[in-house]
Chains A and B, each alone.
Chain A
Amino acid sequence: MKKNKTRNNRILFLILLLVMMLLMFVGMVFGSVKLSFDEVFSVLLGRDTLSKNAIIIWNVRLPRILGGLLAGAGLGTAGVILQGVMNNALASPNTIGVNSGAGFFVMLSMLVLPQNLLAKSTMAFLGALITSLIILCLAFWAERSRITIVLAGITISSFLSAGMNMIKILDTDISINATQFLIGTLSGVTLKTIKYPAMGIIIGILISIILSNALNLLALGDGVASSLGLQVNCFRFIFILLASAMSGLVVSFAGLVGFVGLIVPHIVRFLFGHDARTVIPASALLGANFVLLSDFVGRSLFAPFELPVGIILSLAGGPFFLYLLLKKGGRRVNA
């Protein structure tokens, strides 16, 4: 029975990987200019470096696909971690205001240092970190009542959204498209803008995978975890740091992409079980797939116009999540 389960999990992983490769390829072929498979291959293999196809792939489509992968993987992992650390199934970068914190700081940095990409990433991380630490303190103070954490998150979120909207209205010259930024979009992603975030997110996911067993222990409650020799508060802080870094960095290049961090961990637990050692890598993969697919749909649905990926995620993800909740009878969500 156990063996079957690990085998099933392996097969699921493989399927997710294959789907991801397929989505990446499809994303390179389709778009406002349709390329043939041959054309894509000859660009990727370096045979065609000068034609407009090469420019389209290297400057537009590939960065966008990589951006989608990173955004999905980062938010998926951050979601799992936040849900684990706060012991709250409703936690996610979006619901507890971590994204808004990052967003607000990104807009501030755009205001002051419009061209500095490193400043943008750093500010995004700081914003996310400060917000999540505030939430963690509130949670600690309110004795971890689940409702309080989410309510505090919503309050902080709307407070920061007000700040972002203020910047958006007062400074119309702000060097990002603020409307799209607030919804979450991958248009305009270039290899340059994702350079720093990519490093951070990949490192973040790797560290999370290495530390994933500690997340399992935290799920048993502080008393048990510490009696097994885990430095509970220290690890909680490290995990908050990781989740903030990842979600902040995603915000820095893709804006406030919502929903991935909330629903991906739930779907993964539904498919793979609750062991964080499986859930973290699986969430990264599924998150990546989810964002890639949504971005692809957003680009093709009303081509040549495109919808920001954030809209598609909420449009498709919302009902799907409701379906999952109802199917499970809402019982097992209380993980």
Chain B
Amino acid sequence: MLEFKDVNVNVGRTPILENISVRFNWGEITSIIGPNGCGKTTLLQTLNGISSVTSGQILLDECKYLELPLRERAKRLSFLPQFRESSPNISVKGLVEHGRFPYMGFSRKMSKEDREAVQNALEYANLLQYKDCMVNELSGGLQQRAYLAMQLAQNCPYMVMDEPTNYLDFPSRREMYRLICELKKTGKTIIIVAHDINQALRISDKLVIMKDRKIMASGAPRVCLKEGIIQDVFECEINEIENNGTFQYVLM
């Protein structure tokens, strides 16, 4: 379980997040949703060291996450960055190999285990045929999958993803969500910052709803929906449509 306890974050001298307390349960998909500028990305960035926590505690499986060396953190919790304008000029395989960085010794030589992890990650993300392509020459969907493969090679029980489907077209988006749901089945704990509320409602076990740098509510999607919190935060109505036993949500 990943738990934030009274976490405060300052950027420069301005407080961005104040007294955030929230839990992310083991083996679940938790989505953080909220309007732009509500602090969701800042909250996640406390986990990769970009936003520094000024007070409070983050506990990962009962141990103090912020006191772990970076390399140890990188073996327990991996991070999928937001889609970026400029992407690296290296091969897909090269990118995925970077996921093994926390495991490599001083020589930075790949062991047999590292090679296997890279191969498995490439297979899992369906990227074998692209492994020698340059990342910056791929489409957005494939690039995002390459980053996901890098994250998979890192082989952490906790996977954090910052807007994994931003700028992606529909098929790439669906593929991404399919992969995320399969990862959950393999026992990963997944934390997503999501813009796509329909998808968040459909795949998450738990929602964390943020507004104005505060956590408004957290709980099971259907409960949040029933209590009207999402509708309040996004100032909208949500229609539920049933289709062959699965639900789709339309924001209006």
Contacts and interface: CB of A to CB of B under 8 A. Distances in A.
Interface of A: 1-2, 5, 213, 216-217, 219-224, 226-232, 269, 273-275, 332, 334-335
B30 interface: no
B50 interface: yes
Given A226-B49, A229-B101, A229-B102, A2 B90 contact: no
A220 B132 contact: no
Contact of A227 (B79, B90, B131, B132): B79
A275 B84 CA distance: 20
Given A1-B132, A226-B49, A217 B98 contact: yes
Interface stretch (B21-29, B69-77, B115-123, B206-214): B69-77
B13 interface: no
12 contacts: A2-B93, A216-B90, A219-B88, A221-B81, A221-B84, A226-B48, A226-B49, A227-B81, A229-B71, A231-B70, A274-B89, A334-B86
B70 A222 contact: no
Contact of A275 (B79, B94, B131, B154): B94
B126 interface: no
A220 to B, nearest CB: 6
Interface of B: 45, 47-50, 69-75, 77-79, 81, 84, 86, 88-91, 93-95, 98-99, 101-102, 108, 131-132, 154
A261 B94 CA distance: 26
Contacts of B84: 221
Contact of A274 (B45, B88, B99): B88
B73 A213 contact: no
Contact of B48 (A223, A231, A274, A275): A223
A156 B50 CA distance: 30
Nearest to B70: A229
B94 A228 contact: no
Contacts of B90: 216, 219, 273-275
Contacts of A274: 88-90
Nearest to B95: A220
Nearest to A274: B89
* In the A-B complex, the 9 residue pairs with the closest CB atoms: A229-B74, A227-B79, A227-B48, A229-B102, A229-B71, A274-B89, A226-B49, A228-B101, A1-B132
A223 B73 contact: no
A264 B93 CA distance: 26
Given A222-B50, A224-B81, A229 B89 contact: no
Contacts of A216: 90, 94, 98
A305 to B, nearest CB: 44
Contacts of B98: 216-217, 220, 228
A81 to B, nearest CB: 17
Given A2-B132, A224-B48, 20 more contacts: A2-B93, A216-B94, A217-B101, A219-B88, A222-B50, A223-B45, A223-B50, A226-B48, A227-B47, A227-B74, A228-B98, A229-B73, A229-B74, A229-B101, A231-B70, A269-B89, A273-B90, A274-B89, A275-B90, A332-B89
Which of B50, B95, B131 has the most CB atoms of chain A within a 10 A radius of its CB? B50
Given A1-B132, A275-B94, A230 B89 contact: no
A1 B81 CA distance: 29
Contacts of B49: 226-227, 232
B87 to A, nearest CB: 9
A261 B177 CA distance: 45
Nearest to B71: A229
Contacts of A226: 48-50, 70
B86 A230 contact: no
A228 B108 contact: no
Nearest to B73: A229
A273 B102 CA distance: 24
A214 to B, nearest CB: 9
Contacts of B75: 229
Contacts of A229: 69-75, 101-102
Contact of A2 (B45, B70, B81, B91): B91
A222 B81 CA distance: 10
A335 B90 CA distance: 11
B207 to A, nearest CB: 24
A274 to B, nearest CB: 4
A145 to B, nearest CB: 14
B137 to A, nearest CB: 10
Max chain A C-beta neighbours (<10 A), residue from B48, B93, B132: B48
A223 B74 contact: no
A141 to B, nearest CB: 11
B92 to A, nearest CB: 10
Nearest to B78: A227
A309 B206 CA distance: 67
Contact of A220 (B50, B88, B131): B88
A226 B153 CA distance: 16
A221 B150 CA distance: 14
Contacts of A273: 89-90
Contacts of A228: 74, 98-99, 101-102, 154
